[in-house]
Amino acid sequence: MSTDHYTLSSGEIHREPLSAGTRAPEFTLPTTPDQTVSLSDFHGQPVVLAFYPADWSPTCGDQLSLYNQLLPEFQAHGAQLLGVSVDGVWCHRAFEEDRNIHFPLLADFEPKGAIAKAYGVYRDDVGTSERALFVIDAGGIIQWSYVSPVGINPGADGILRELEALSTTVELEEGR
């Protein structure tokens, strides 16, 4: 596989991160040595996928600590936050404990980067994912995606803006 494209399970070649309107690829990844999390576990609620390069990098630590502080805001919109990197479960566990993280960190470890590749955000040249964000609606459709430069914390404004838009859409559909 060349470094400028990704092959999805459907055989489709994808060169960019998956965009709004695309069905989010299903996955099951370990979160502990004996537990897994699947995207389908959260069917019926929004999901925020935060791909990040590595647990112990300073920018990743800042980004995930910010999201941890903002968890009540994500939860107010009924959204589940999931962190995803190519680090293994033991690395995630140590990082979660050190940073007091209260949302699942998923190990896209074996085969390395398979889920990052499915979402179009794997960096073959260094073997990590991009710093990428996806907001997926309750029906499993990507509503927003963003790739930040690896060394820059993307913050949470885009995520919160999209979750607010999703909440407003749901309220309008329910006639509130």
Q: Which residues of 146-156 are buried (b: 16+ CB within 10 A; e: fewer)?
A: ebbebeebbeb
Which token pair is 165?
A: 């838009």
74-128: pLDDT as tens digits: 999 999 999 999 999 999 999 999 999 999 999 999 999 999 999 999 999 999 9
pLDDT band at residue 172 under the 50/70/90 scheme: low
Q: Sheet harboring 80-85: ordered strands across?
A: 105-107, 80-85, 47-51, 131-136, 142-148
* φ/ψ of residue 139, rounded to 5: -95, 5
Query: One-letter amino acid identity for 158?
Result: G
pLDDT digits (tens, 9 = 90+) for 23-63: 999 999 999 999 999 999 999 999 999 999 999 999 999 99
- The full set of domain ranges for the chain reads 43-173
Q: Which pLDDT band holds residue 159 (cuts at 50, 70, 90)?
A: very high
Active-site positions read 60
Domain 43-173 has CATH 3.20.20.450: no
Give whole-number Cα distances, 152 to 54, 61, 68, 85, 162, in Å. Answer: 13, 12, 18, 16, 20
Evaluated on CA atoms 96, 99, 104, 107, the torsion sign reads negative
